[in-house]
Amino acid sequence: MPRNTATSQQDALLAEFKALVADTEKLLQDTAELAGAEAEAMRAQVHDKLKRARETLQGAEQAMLSRGREALDSTEAYVAEHPWHALGIAAGVGFLLGLLSARR
């Protein structure tokens, strides 16, 4: 099933955000060797920001999954209520894709 551009962009954004979180965790581990009160304060700030970023990421993932489930449920309900319409739409889309692929 083809995915739309918005979903692909969201997936790319989530992948970048996860990479940022992983890089921040590595930076936090690398700075553990530094000594002093300022280094400890910096590590605490980074840790707090990282925790908030993780929570934001988890919230975004849950929201995306919820919207995906809602879309799937509404599509299934529509197909169950209108099977001939769904079949006609699928045939029309298949026909258009066939025309487009025959041009190339």
Residue/partner pairs of 72-78 with CB below 8 Å, 24 or more apart: none
| 36 three-state secondary structure | coil
**Position 47, amino acid:** H
Residue 19 in tokens: 């990479």
Q: pLDDT tens digit string along 51-91?
A: 877 787 788 788 888 888 999 999 899 889 999 998 999 99
Q: pLDDT tens digit string along 7-27?
A: 666 777 777 777 777 777 777
